[in-house]
Structure 1
Amino acid sequence: MLKRRQFLGGLTALSASYLLAACGGGGESSNASGKAAAATGASGAAAASGASGTSSNTTPTAKTSDPNSISMPPATSITDNSGNVWTLSGGSVYRNGSAAGNTFNVSLVLFYGGVIYHEGTGGQFYEWTGSGWVGCNDPRLGGTSADGTSLPASPYIIDKSGAIWTLTNGVIYRNGATVGDTYNVSLVLWYGGKIWHCGTGGQFYVNTDTAGHWLNCNDPRTAIAPPAGMFYGMNGHFDYTYTPQQIVSILKGMGCTSYRVGGTNTSNELNALVGLAQAFQSAGMTLIVLINQGVYDSNGNLLAGENAAYSQGYAVAQGIANALKPYGVTIYECGNELTRTNATVLDFTAAGTRASDFNNANWPVMRGVMRGMIDGVKSVQSNAKCGINFCVNDVGAADALWDGMQPDGSGGHPTVRWDITTWHNYEVYGDLFDVGTDGAQPGFDLPTYCKARYGVPFIVTEWNTGPDRTQAYRSNYISTKLGEYYQNRKTHNIQSVMYYVLDSGDQTYGIMINGSPLNPSYSAFQSFTAAHPDN
């Protein structure tokens, strides 16, 4: 087990950039050699200089124009804020008497919000950039729709990329084109940065990509509150020099009620886990045990196929559960960042939102070891709760495992069904409630997505900022993130948020060193828990 995790030097934790690194609570290295993905952004509008458009008759009618806007026709000319005079002649746009780019068949020129736009006969709008035209929506439609906007109550929805969604005769359209195979749709919903729909039978579906794939889910608007009593958590290691009783005392002093620690079924690690379990049982606190089995054998070689991986995971998990069952441990996390090893992810800079981001050939090994750990625990404790861990934005992996899919798109494979969705959310990965996708495209609310897709509680088993941050920065980050987690805990089914880590041996991640608090970080954590009860 690693005493601490380090991000690659020189990388800055930029919003919508990703450092796909191992940041585990312990155990097998994720072999993270990733770099921060460039935040390229995506406007959702294709560049264009012509006036002809591609919109169909499903494009909604614009709202009433701004009273300060001017259009041709009926006006014969428009003077912009810089004094340039715009005219429309023969279907082409002119600026101060000279052709403004290559335009044709223009039916409307609009001055709106200080910007010049034009519309082609097909209904496509273009915005003047100062040197050319770029495709856009009719500016009178407004920007991104408010969260919770629905069809048919509203005439249209505009998502974060600028795409316009409409509903006609029970069929869903995106920018005038059908989105997958939909019919008898009674509701289209914009919620948590995603498009959802519901059919007349009451089944909800969520759109996962521009190709029109829909996955079945629950209504994302349903607020779910997990059981209280373990919300404030901390990570630690089995080989600390602190005694179990000292750890319990330290955690109580910080307002923590849960603790995550990893181990395998070797005798020294099992003995350490048993000692902790006994102490936590006596204290009435929750111990979450990370079963630290990966996709490699003891020699560092990939396990030999799904069956071998299943057997290995089963044996290790069964041994751990047998040892801990008498001491009240009922929550196990089955593997640490298994989607982020050299064997499982194709590109560490990928956000993980697509199943194709992962290694198809080695996928069965990962799936096998996950299934084995869950079944190994359940063979001893049928009522135990098993979590599967993901990080960055690995919903592509999570969905494929849940539905029995391979990264190549083939189905019918064994499913992995967990009782708790667990996630790592370091600052460099982005805001969990608005986490970005590949190319830094518009983000979405990840816990809402998981709540609707998998229907089980959500635990953030690791969170922190980067190792290079000052204690003052870390203190503010702790207060801010705890506030965000706390505010959303009872609507997003967030059962616990577990800070990484109690003691890292230095100031990179730990909140104390050798029993001495690192301030102001420690005080920020302690003050927040004292002022915000877990009830």
Structure 2
Amino acid sequence: MLKRRQILGCLTALGGSYVLGGCGGGSGSAPSAATSNPRIVTAATAGTFYGINGHYDYRYTPAQVVAIVKALGCSTYRLGCTDDPPQLSAVVKLAQAFQAAGLTLFVLIDLSIYDSNRVMFASESIAYERGRSCAATVATALGPYGVTMYECGNELTRAGDIILDPTNAGTKAVDFNNTNWPVMRGLIRGMIDGVKSAQPAARCGVNFTVADIGASDALWNGTQPDGSSGHPTVRWDMTTWHNFEVYGDIFNLGSDGSGPGFDLPAYCQAHYGVPFLLTEWNTGPEQSAAYRASYISTKFANYFVARKAKNIQSVMYYELDSGNDTFGLMIDGAILSQPYDAFTSFIAGHPDSG
């Protein structure tokens, strides 16, 4: 999450011109959720819909974060950490405060495919063991304080050694690096297994972005980017995704003219049969406060209408405080009135009830 501005700046410079090619394989047609292992849609649980992103190293105290999240009308707060002791200690304190307040702390286990020296893990098994060890430590520390939802990795499919061309939408498995694929798969598998070893009933999400169904299908089905099968499968309890304006509308990806459009939550429900969480969403950092406020209102309205029909469990705005007037709703406790008012007004007028 810390590189959001650099990533979006690059994509904005490209004018959103990623290529939406054939989806989920080698064909040139848009995906069809209706014909690909359809499952019954179960409505998302009420009371979990509104969320927001933050960071463990904010200057706010845990009590202040709780008060801010409540004032916003949110029930869920997402932030990342690893097993690094200072990070984990800060998140434990937040977890204690959130548990007492009856709020949900959604923890991203923020490992990458690289070690501390920025060298990619040498094999799938080494990556697996690192992921398992880290996730077990995090879940063991947080479990006693009511944390039961974890996101295993952040935009790993967009790492420079995984995506072959970052301007591609990721709808085809061949968009990804076949040689390095097992390292990413091993890391994700390890994180899921590590969480479950400490908290068997916890729910794990795997995170994707842009239109990376080529990656999500390959992980779920145990295939490689070269089309070979029989590899370890990855199973998650929640599909989590990031969607910024430059990527297109999640209900009609490709509607920006880059290719065939498809409904991402419907596609994921049909293929994976688990709840869909939008764990980061916003417009770009270059937009004005007025534009951002309008975008918040419009997107909230679309997401709210779809939350039951498409099993969208939560939409988590990026972010609470970005340290400037780009993504955040406030700076060091000072409210950015236009986006903040749009955010809180919509939630106040649209309660997440049954």
TM class, shorter-chain normalised? over 0.9
Task: State whether structure 2 residue 220 is matched by structure 1 residue 402.
Answer: yes
> Amino acid of the residue matched to residue 289 of structure 1?
V
Deviation at 1:436, TM superposition (A): 1.6
| TM-score normalised by structure 1 residue count | 0.62
User: For residues 354 and 438 of structure 1, do their structure 2 counterparts lie closer, same or farther at Cα, with a shift above 3 Å needed?
Assistant: farther
Instruction: State the alpha-carbon separation in 2 of the partners of residues 247 and 416 from structure 1.
Output: 34
Misfit runs of 4+, over 6 Å? 39-42
> 1:318 aligns to what SS in structure 2?
helix
Preserved CA contact (<8 Å) 2:33 2:270: no
**Residues 180-223 of structure 1: CA deviation (Å, up to 9, x unaligned):** xxxxxxxxxxxxx75466xxxxxxx33xxxxxxxxxx115xx44
Aligned to 2:38: 218
Query: Does the CA-based 8 Å contact 2:19-2:167 persist in structure 1?
Result: no
Structure 2 SS opposite 1:440: coil
Aligned partner letter, 1:353: T
Displacement of 1:224 in angstroms is 2.4
Matched, 1:38 2:17: yes
Letter of the aligned partner of 2:141 in structure 1? Answer: A
AA partner of residue 17 (structure 2): A
Q: What does 1:32-431 align with in structure 2 at a 5 Å threshold? A: 35-36=14-15, 38=17, 194-195=31-32, 205-206=35-36, 217-219=37-39, 222-431=40-249
Aligned-partner Cα distance in 2 for 1:246–1:230: 21
Please say if 1:475 is aligned against 2:300: no
Give the secondary structure class of the aligned counterpart of 1:424. Answer: strand
The CA distance in 2 between the partners of 1:506 and 1:477, in whole Å, is: 18
Residue type of the partner of 2:165? D
Are positions 1:5 and 2:11 aligned together?
A: no
- What is the letter of the counterpart of residue 252 of structure 1? K
**Does the CA-based 8 Å contact 1:236-1:502 persist in structure 2?**
yes
In our comparison, the structure showing a higher alpha carbon Rg is 1
Q: Secondary structure at the match of 2:262?
A: coil
Alpha-carbon shift at residue 40 of structure 1 (Å): 8.1
Cα shift readout 1:333-377 (whole Å, capped 9, x = no counterpart): 000000001110000011000000000000000000000000000
1:486 paired with 2:307, answer: no
Q: Secondary structure at the match of 1:303?
A: coil
1:307 and 1:366 map into 2 onto residues whose CA distance is 10
Unpaired runs of at least 5, structure 2: 22-26
Q: Which has the higher helix share?
A: 2
Task: State percent identity of aligned pairs.
Answer: 59
The answer for the alignment partner of 1:495 in structure 2 is 313
Question: In structure 2, do the counterparts of structure 1 residues 7 and 405 end up closer, same or farther at CA, with 3 Å as the change threshold?
Answer: closer
Partner in structure 2 of residue 520 of structure 1: 338
Residue matched to 1:448: 266
The number of aligned residues is: 347
Q: Does 1:460 align with 2:251?
A: no
Measure, in 1, the Cα distance between the counterparts of 2:332 and 2:20: 44
Q: How well do the aligned residues superpose, as a CA RMSD in angstroms?
A: 2.2
**SS of equivalent residue, structure 2 residue 277:** strand
After superposition, the Cα gap between the structure-2 partners of 1:471 and 1:382, relative to the gap in structure 1 and judged at 3 Å, is same
In structure 2, relative to structure 1, the CA distance for the partners of 1:438 and 1:350 (3 Å cut) is: farther
Deviation at 1:6, TM superposition (A): 3.5
The separation in 2 between residues aligned to 1:235 and 1:8, in whole angstroms, is 17
Residue type of the partner of 1:445? D
User: Which protein is richer in strand relative to its size?
Assistant: 1
Q: Partners in 2 of 1:387 and 1:6 — Cα distance?
A: 25
